[in-house]
Structure 1
C-alpha cells in the first residue's frame, strides 16, 4: 500500500533551523532568576500597564489599522514624519516584511557573522541566499560587508548594537557603509538596543533614514520599555519603502492594547531613563566582577554581556551549574560562541546571585 503524501513547503523551507529563544523556565519548584532574554529588570512603566488594562473594555473593537496613535507619539518624541513610520508585531515582523518585499530566489542579503539569527531565517524563508560577513574584534566590519556586495545583493542587515556581542558601529562607519552600497541595496539598521547606548559617536539611524532613500531603521518596545509580551516594534523608512511595507503587512497587525501601552510608555520617559541609568551602573559592575574571577566579557553598549569561559572550563557545564541554582542565562552556540553565555543585566539581587554562582563555579574549576 502506497503511503499518502501531504502538501510540501517550498524547497529550502525545511532546511531552515528555527529560531530557539532563550530558556525561560526550569523544572521543579522555586523562583527562577531569568537573565536569558535581555528583558529590562525594571519592567514596563506603570502608565503603560494602566493603559493596557484600560483596553480590556474595548476588546470587541478592531484597533486602528495603521497604529496611528503610536506613530504620532513616536513622531512627536523623535521629530519624525509619522507617515514614514510603520508599526509591527515586534521588530521581527518588520524584518520579515522587508525580506518579503525585497528578496526572492536569486537575491542575496548580507549580515555580520555573529548577527541576530532572525536575519538568516528571514532571508532563507523568502528563497534568497544569506551571505555572512566576517567580523573584526566581534564587531561588524564595514570593509568585509562591502567586499561581499554583488549585483544580487538587495538587503544588508546590521544590528547596532549587535546581539549577542553588544558591540556597535560608530555613526561614521555606518555612513561609510552606506556610501559604499549601490542605490538599489537597502541598509537595515536594527536598533533594538539603541536606548541603552550612551556613546557620543553613536546614532541609531534616524539621520541616515532622513538623508537617504535606501535606509530603514527598526526599533522595538520589547527591551528598554518592558513590553516584550505585547510584541510591538516599528520602523522609520523612506516614503517609498513605507508604502511597500504597508501594502503587504496585515491590516491589523498591531493590537489595540499594544498601541495604547506603547503610547503610554513613550510618555513616561523618566521610567525609561531610570532603566538606562540602572543598566549603565550594573553593566560596569558585573563586567568588573566577572573579570576578577577570570571571565572575560566583550565590551557591550547594550543591556547584556557576552561572557567568555577560559580554556579548561565549559560554558555548557556552567549553564548546567547555574540551572541547579535556579539561574538561567543564554547559551549562544548557534551564534558561533560554543564556550560563552550571554548574561542579561538584571536587578541588584539577580546580578549578585549570578555573580556568586559563577564565582563558585570558577573556584570549583580551578
Structure 2
C-alpha cells in the first residue's frame, strides 16, 4: 500500500500564481515595473564568486540593515524566503489541529493554506464594500482563535484600513490571540491615516508585522521577506525556521535595496501617478473600478453575455495583456490588474475601451 499524506494536506488547493507572459505584458503578479535598485544588482554580482559558501544562517547583517532603516531592535526581526515562509513559520509555531484563524473575506490566499497545513480552520469574515469589517472580525473570535491575519493594504482588493480601525481590532482581541499585520504594500500607501503597524508590533506582546522585498524593492525572484514583533514570538519562529532559510544573494540584495531609498520613492511616485491615470480612464468605460492604494487595482465586470470577467480576460490576453483572474478569492466577476509601465497601462485602457464598446 502506498504512503498516504495527512487528510488535511489532501484538502489543500495549491496556490496558483499569476500567469507569465511569453510575449506582451505581464500584469498579473503585482511586480515592480521599474525593476529593482541598481545597488541590489551590483550587490548580487559581488556574491556570485562565493556561491560555494553557506549563507549567514541568522541573516544577521540583513537584520541589522532593517534595524537601522526602521529604527527597530534587530533581535526582534526575523527574515524569511518571502512573507510566505514567515506565514508558514507562524502556522508551525502557533497552530494545531482544531485551532482557528480569522481573516477578512478576500484576504490573501496563503493564510488559509498555512492554516490547512497545520489542521487549523479558517474563518473568513464578510467584508463591507471590499473593506475588512472590524466588528464582524471581532464577533468571529472564539476560544479556538489563535491568529488573526489582516492584510493592510489588502490583496486583491487594493483597499486599506485606517490605523484607528486596526488599533480597534487589536484592542478587542484577547491577549493570547496573535494579530498578524501583513504590510506587503505599505510603501505604496500615501494616506495620512495609514500605518504599517510597526509601532504596534514594537509595543504589544501579540502583534507581528510582516513586510516583503518583492514589491517596492523589486526583488520578487529572490524571495525575501521579514517580520518584526515581540521577542517571544520571534523566538518561537526561530525555533521552527529552517537553517539557512534565506539565500546569500537575497541577503546581499536586501541590504543594498534598503540603502537605495531614492529607488523606492521613485517606484512609489511612478505607481501612484499611473494609478491616478488608470483608475478614472477605466471607470469611463462604464466598469466598476475600486479605489486602490497598492500597485494594482480591481475591476468588476457585468455578468451579461460577452462582457463578463472571463470574456474580458480572454480579450486582454488577445492584446498581449496578462492580468489576474481572481476566482479563487471568490470574486469571479472581477480581474486584478497590476500597474505596469506607461505603455502597458495605456494598452490596458485602450483594450478595455474597445472591449466595452464592442
TM over 0.5, shorter chain:
yes
Aligned counterparts of 2:154 and 2:296: Cα–Cα separation in 1: 11
> 2:101 touches 2:121 (CA, 8 Å); kept in 1?
yes
- Give a deviation string over 1:47-87, Cα, whole Å, max 9, x none: 10110121100101111111011111110010000000000
Structure 2: gaps of 5 or more residues: none
**Are positions 1:290 and 2:282 aligned together?**
yes
> 2:302 touches 2:309 (CA, 8 Å); kept in 1?
no
Structure 1: gaps of 5 or more residues: none
Aligned counterparts of 2:300 and 2:7: Cα–Cα separation in 1: 37
| Match of residue 203 from structure 2 | 211
> 2:313 touches 2:325 (CA, 8 Å); kept in 1?
yes
Aligned counterparts of 1:182 and 1:246: Cα–Cα separation in 2: 24
| Match of residue 322 from structure 2 | 328
- Give a deviation string over 1:165-219, Cα, whole Å, max 9, x none: 0111111011100010001100000000000001011110111011100000000
- Give a deviation string over 1:335-364, Cα, whole Å, max 9, x none: 111111101011101101111111111111
For residue 210 of structure 2, give the secondary structure of its aligned residue in structure 1.
strand
Query: 1:4-15 residue pairs with structure 2 within 5 A?
Result: 5-15=1-11
| Match of residue 351 from structure 1 | 345
**Are positions 1:81 and 2:67 aligned together?**
no
Aligned counterparts of 2:251 and 2:50: Cα–Cα separation in 1: 13
Cα RMSD of the aligned pairs, angstroms, is: 0.8
Aligned counterparts of 1:66 and 1:97: Cα–Cα separation in 2: 15
**Are positions 1:338 and 2:347 aligned together?**
no
| Match of residue 157 from structure 1 | 149
Aligned counterparts of 1:14 and 1:69: Cα–Cα separation in 2: 39
Query: 1:218-233 residue pairs with structure 2 within 5 A?
Result: 218-233=210-225
Q: 1:47 aligns with which of 39, 50, 62?
A: 39
TM-score of the superposition, structure 2-length normalised? 0.98
Q: 1:123 aligns with which of 109, 115, 133?
A: 115
The alpha-carbon deviation at position 224 of structure 1 amounts to: 0.8
The alpha-carbon deviation at position 11 of structure 1 amounts to: 1.5
Aligned counterparts of 2:87 and 2:208: Cα–Cα separation in 1: 10
The alpha-carbon deviation at position 163 of structure 1 amounts to: 0.2
Runs of 4+ in 1 over 4 A off after TM superposition: none
Aligned counterparts of 1:257 and 1:15: Cα–Cα separation in 2: 35
Q: 1:101 aligns with which of 93, 101, 105?
A: 93
The alpha-carbon deviation at position 269 of structure 1 amounts to: 0.3
Give the number of equivalent residue pairs: 356
Aligned counterparts of 2:175 and 2:149: Cα–Cα separation in 1: 15
For residue 264 of structure 1, give the secondary structure of its aligned residue in structure 2.
helix
For residue 338 of structure 1, give the secondary structure of its aligned residue in structure 2.
coil
Aligned counterparts of 1:13 and 1:311: Cα–Cα separation in 2: 35
Aligned counterparts of 1:111 and 1:6: Cα–Cα separation in 2: 36
For residue 12 of structure 1, give the secondary structure of its aligned residue in structure 2.
helix
The alpha-carbon deviation at position 311 of structure 1 amounts to: 4.0
**Are positions 1:24 and 2:20 aligned together?**
yes
**Are positions 1:278 and 2:267 aligned together?**
no
Aligned counterparts of 1:258 and 1:239: Cα–Cα separation in 2: 24
Aligned counterparts of 2:266 and 2:21: Cα–Cα separation in 1: 27
| Match of residue 177 from structure 1 | 169
> 1:294 touches 1:310 (CA, 8 Å); kept in 2?
no
For residue 343 of structure 1, give the secondary structure of its aligned residue in structure 2.
strand
The alpha-carbon deviation at position 25 of structure 1 amounts to: 2.9
Aligned counterparts of 1:296 and 1:281: Cα–Cα separation in 2: 20
- Give a deviation string over 1:241-279, Cα, whole Å, max 9, x none: 111111110110001000000000000000000000001
